[in-house]
């Protein structure tokens, strides 16, 4: 059973929590991806072992969780280079479709354009770390304990 079949049973809130997108957005992404794949379909080559829905999930995992290609490849049972190719292909097809791209600069500066601003507080906060002590953990100290 592919990964999408398992997570498609989740509620809408759980699905979004896991993938970062709503199920409706995921369905739209899948539709656009399949349409773009049909337009650029190759006749030759080995058939995919991972479904189109799992291709989208791989891309979302990479972008949301910053997982390495190695970890994603192991999760889906494919090679690392194949995971890279799939993720890049999905990203490029979705962006080039125009349905999932950010607005252009000219659109933002157009008269009457309404811009929504989101402010994120990303200030650095200090982390308390234990003080380094030369006497703790030295070979001499360890030998005296034993």
What is the value of pTM for the model shown? 0.65
The structural domain count of the chain equals: 1
Could you tell me if residue 114 is inside a domain?
no
Could you tell me if residue 59 is inside a domain?
yes
- Residues 91-106 pLDDT 10s: 888 888 877 766 677 7
Could you tell me if residue 34 is inside a domain?
yes
Range of the domain at 79: 3-107
Q: Lowest mean pLDDT of 35-44, 58-67, 136-145, name the range.
A: 136-145
Tell me: pLDDT of 83 over 80. Answer: yes
Sign of the Cα torsion 83, 88, 89, 90 reads: positive
């Amino acid at each position: 059973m592919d990964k999408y079949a398992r997570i498609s049973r989740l509620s809408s809130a759980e699905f979004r929590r896991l993938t970062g997108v709503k199920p409706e957005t995921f369905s739209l992404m899948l539709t656009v991806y399949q349409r773009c794949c049909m337009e650029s379909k190759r006749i030759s080559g080995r058939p995919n072992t991972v479904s189109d829905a799992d291709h989208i999930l791989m891309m979302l995992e990479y972008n949301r969780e910053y997982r390495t290609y190695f970890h994603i490849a192991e999760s889906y049972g494919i090679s690392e280079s194949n995971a890279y190719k799939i993720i890049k292909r999905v990203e490029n097809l979705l962006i080039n479709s125009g349905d999932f791209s950010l607005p252009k600069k000219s659109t933002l500066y157009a008269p009457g354009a309404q811009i929504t601003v989101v402010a994120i507080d990303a200030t650095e906060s200090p982390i308390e770390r234990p003080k380094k002590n030369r006497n703790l953990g030295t070979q001499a100290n360890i030998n005296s304990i034993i």
